[in-house]
Structure 1
Amino acid sequence: MMLAEKLLLHILIIMAPMFFYGLFIEHHSLKKSKILGGILQGVAACLCMLFPFISHGFHWDLRYVPIIVAFLYGGPIAGTIAFLMVICMRIAIGGPIVLYGIGIIVLSVSLSCMFVKRFYEYSPNRRIMIGVLMGVWSAFSATLTVLLYMWNTKSWEYDLADDLLPIALIQMLGMIASVLMHELIVERIVMRQEMKRVEKMNTLGELAASIAHEVRNPLTVVKGFLQMMKQGENYQYVPLVLSEVERAEKIISDYLNFAKPQFQEKKRFCLDIVLNEVCILLEPLAMNKGISLQVKMGANPLLETDADQLKQALLNIIKNAIEATSSGGVVVTTAAVKSGVEIRIVDTGKGMTTEQLERIGTLFYTTKDKGTGLGTLISLRIINMMNGTLMYKSQPGVGTEATITLPTV
């Protein structure tokens, strides 16, 4: 009974940092929030160690849960902070089996390090399963360490069923509760960011549609009059004026596409047709820059959407890759995935920092000397309208990878 009461108290302790983390995460940068999360989880683990259940010299508590949670949800920075705090606390507590205690801690968190880098790439259900698996592993690590201690000291009077079984069950309960709470926090943050993004996009879309409607009509009238003047007399600057008006009209059309991409004709076509047309159009630009544009078709699925709109999105993205590359090349590859098909555009350009990646898709933000960032926004809108996704990965000095995922027929 004493054991259950102690460990249930620990569950309340390890739940406390999540409330503080959820309150303060929005007011800190990403790096600071990871540090804050690691400190909070480390404090929770140390508090559990201050109120342990002691049996046969072993201090039983739920210190492992906050450390694992810190590694999985906070990343290497938060996990390392919590881990070092717990190690220092265990050394400060001391005792004859301090090395075994440290061994349990190291063994318990070792497996979670394997999932740190790609943890957020998994689905929420998969993340919950990984959290439960980490709880099972930490319980197994504790049992293994106790058996090793009993074997070394030849003391077999320790009844595993009396302590280790309820400890493992309560630790599993604490791990599940922690993971579920963190998933709620992650979901809330993602929903808030998505709401902000949708609100901004709707506002900008309405503004762009309004401007385009008001400006396009007079431009069309001016263009008509200039064409009439050109037929009557040979004015020297009329062709130049016409070309500038056409350019302005194209910009306005881009704003309209940004506001609401118009899917005029949905039809079935093979992906290689659109990719080949795009690459033929961009081949002269690539050759002028001395860049090799390569297409590797690993999958050639049948799509059903507006081919012209898809072509426009691919043109913008591949053109950006060519313009960002000074040497090397741009490789376009396709691959089949569960949700459809992936199109990867990989360049060997200057790359982008984390801050620049976070701003990709923002109106008027661009890494080019001349540009508005409108092309990337239009591509995002088009792909979203096709029920697809566009994700960017980049590393300064290495290059950038844009991954488009589209549903197939």
Structure 2
Amino acid sequence: MLTEKLLLHVLMVLAPVLSYGFFFERKYFSSFPYLWGALQSICAAFCIIFAYHDGGLFWDLRYAPLILAFLYGGKISGGMVLGTILVCRAAYGGEALVFALLGIVLAALIPFLLSGIFMDYHPYKRVKMAMITGIWPIVVQIFILLSFTAYSSEINSSLMDTIFRLLTFGIIQVLGIGTAARLNELIIERSLMKKEIQKAEKLNTMGELAASIAHEVRNPLTVVKGFLQLMQKDDKDQRHPYIPLVLSELGRAEVIINDYLNFAKPEFKQLEHFSLAQILSDVCVLLNALAVKQGVELKREGAAEALLLTDRNQLRQALVNVIKNAIEATPSGGTVTVSLSLSGDQAVVSIADTGKGMTPEQLSRIGTLFYTTKDKGTGLGTTVSVKIIESMQGKISFKSEPGKGTEVTLKLPLHKKMNISY
């Protein structure tokens, strides 16, 4: 009878997850902590109301929604469920009320401590952590049971039978939490997948647009620029002092158009073997003048040698964009550190600055079209850099914290030359 009742409670535990996923599939659980907490509180209340009473104990899965609320919804959601369980259990009263309330508080301790770091882990690891956390209330219940037995001096033969039931109850609870956690991860994964699909559609549309208009716009710009250069040569008396400014702005327009073209489809015109360390040194020398002008120290670290096979100029452009952004984001007196290391069959380039950093919301939008944290800029530079690195079968990631700076990590596949002798 106990097993059947607990399996019914498993369905109660799954109900909030399915309801949330159906009505709010585009939002994380932590986005609506009060809603998530309310759903889990209702679940916990139903578990207590429909508990199986046997041997002077209440058998239910009240701790499953408590754990899920803390881990996936945060401290607000978990606090709501904890309060609901305490109130419901207090309403039942009983001789062991104090011990029961103490056990509920202790059972919430581990989920409370994990709530701040839980979502930072990999999805599969989160499921395992949730299941392991489900063991903690069992340990607490056994401890409380033994304490109450010692306090009441009523040690009898049914104690071991109760502990055995606790173990059976624990297995069902852990499996129930694991199932609910897995469903949570599927909802999160589906939400992320929809965002990626929408992002890919926007990028594809923008790429097609860039490819169709870039050549048409660049041709008349080239003609205008050519005639202005001829006028500048003939203007020996400098009767037209604004020509250099116009040429400068035309050059800037050409750079933006080239960025659109690279975004649409990076062209690797010349594949060659070269040293990544040498490219980094060249880029640092090139941008050192900008760093000095901004009052920023540009440091180059790491003596690793990495041989790549790709388009040198495209990679140089991506590195210039990323390092230039780091310099511009760093206040006077700050430092930008460019380091190179090896990790397996990959070269790892790290560009870390001591700038103002970014919020999680800003960080999530980095690399998207037309988004920039700078006052001036189109946001295309970072997008193009991401596109170039990904086209080279590499990966680029961003890590930032407000007030502490930003770190950009580029991982590029190494190329090893084979020396064959006959």
With normalisation by structure 1, the TM-score equals 0.88
- Give the aligned residue type for 1:13: M
Q: Are 2:312 and 1:310 aligned?
A: no
**Counterparts of 1:404 and 1:91, CA distance in 2:** 56
Deviation by residue 1:71-111 (Cα, 9 ceiling, x = unmatched): 22223333333333323333333322233333433443433
Name the structure 1 match of 2:362. Answer: 356
Q: Is the 8 A contact 1:269 1:302 kept in 2?
A: yes
Number of the residue aligned with 2:331: 326
Summarize the Cα distance change of 1:101–1:268 in structure 2 as closer, same or farther, 3 Å threshold.
Answer: farther
Q: Which of the numbers 290, 294, 297 marks the counterpart of 1:292?
A: 297
Residue by residue over 1:117-172, the C-alpha shift from the partner in whole angstroms, topping out at 9 and shown as x without a partner, is 44334333322222222233333333333233334433243214551132122112
Are 1:194 and 2:164 counterparts?
no
Rounded Cα–Cα distance in structure 1 between residues aligned with 2:3 and 2:287 = 68
Change (3 A) 1:17 1:378: same
1:51 aligns to 2:50 (yes or no)? yes
- Residue of structure 1 aligned with 2:409, choices 380, 383, 403: 403
1:359-370 mapped onto 2 (5 Å cutoff): 359-370=365-376
CA separation in 1, counterparts of 2:65 and 2:37? 9
Range with greater deviation from structure 2 (352-361 or 208-217): 352-361
Matched residues in 2 for 1:303 and 1:113: separation? 47
Q: Which amino acid aligns with 2:409?
A: T
The equivalent residue for 2:175 is: 173
**For 2:211 and 2:358, how far apart are their aligned partners in 1?**
31
Task: Tell me, yes or no, if the aligned pair for 1:58 and 1:97 is still in contact at 8 Å.
Answer: no
Report SS of the residue matched to 1:391: strand
1:126 correspondence with 2:132: no
Matching residue of 2:388: 382
* Secondary structure at 2:134 match in 1: helix
The Cα shift of 1:210 comes to 1.4
Paired letter, 1:293: L
The structure 1 residue matched to 2:349, chosen from 335, 343, 347, is: 343
- Does the CA-based 8 Å contact 1:344-1:403 persist in structure 2? yes
Distance 1:287 1:11 in 2: 63
Check conservation: 1:333, 1:343, Cα contact below 8 A. Answer: yes
Aligned twin of 1:163? 165
Match for residue 250 of structure 1?
A: 255
Residues 398-407 or 322-331, more deviating: 398-407
Give the equivalent residue in structure 2 for 1:140: 139
Residue 279 of structure 2 is aligned to residue 274 of structure 1: yes
* 355 and 4 in structure 1: CA distance in 2 versus 1, 3 angstrom threshold: same
Equivalent position amino acid for 1:193 in 2 = K
CA contact (8 A) 2:30 2:74 kept: no
CA distance change for structure 1 residues 117 and 318 in 2, over 3 Å: closer, same or farther?
Answer: farther
> Is the Cα contact below 8 Å between 1:345 and 1:403 reproduced in 2?
yes
Residue 232 of structure 1 and its aligned partner are, at CA, apart by 7.5
Normalising by structure 2, we get a TM-score of: 0.85
Distance 1:125 1:229, change over 3 A: same
1:335 shift after superposition = 4.9
1:221/1:335 CA distance change after superposition, 3 Å: same
Conserved in 2, the CA contact under 8 Å of 1:348 and 1:399?
yes
Alpha-carbon separation, structure 1, partners of 2:303 and 2:53 = 60
Equivalent pair of 2:276/2:305 in contact (CA under 8 Å): yes
Shift of 1:336: 4.8
Match of 2:74 in 1: 75
5+ residue gaps, structure 2: 416-422
Deviation sequence 1:354-377 (CA, Å, 0-9, x none): 333333233222222211111111
Q: Distance in 2 between matches of 1:113 and 1:403?
A: 32
Contact 2:43 2:65 (C-alpha < 8 Å) held by counterparts: yes
Structure 1 distance, partners of 2:309, 2:215, is 30
Paired position in structure 1 for 2:420: none
Instruction: Report Cα offsets for 1:301-323 as digits up to 9, x if no partner.
Output: 44443333222222222212221
Bigger Rg, which one: 2
Q: Which residue of 2 aligns with 1:9?
A: 8
Letter of the 1:326 counterpart: P
Find the counterpart in structure 2 of residue 264 from structure 1: 269
**CA–CA distance in 2 between the matches of 1:344 and 1:116?**
30
* Kept in 1: contact 2:339–2:349 (CA 8 A): yes
Higher mean C-alpha deviation, range 295-304 or range 37-46: 295-304
How many residue pairs are counted as aligned between the two chains?
408
Identify which range, 222-231 or 312-321, moves more after superposition: 222-231
> Where do 5+ consecutive residues of structure 1 fail to align?
none
Name the CA distance, whole Å, in 2 between partners of 1:351 and 1:25. Answer: 31
SS, match of residue 294 in structure 1: strand
What is residue 208 of structure 2 aligned with on the other side?
206
Q: Work out whether 1:184 is the aligned partner of 2:186.
A: yes
Structure 1 residues 291, 242: CA separation in 2 closer, same or farther (over 3 Å shift)? closer
1:57 positional shift: 2.9
Task: Give, as a single letter, the amino acid of the residue that structure 2 aligns with 1:375.
Answer: G
Distance 1:319 1:261 in 2: 20
Q: Which is further off, 197-206 or 79-88?
A: 79-88
CA distance in 2 between counterparts of 1:399 and 1:348 reads: 4
CA-CA distance at 1:178 after TM superposition? 0.7
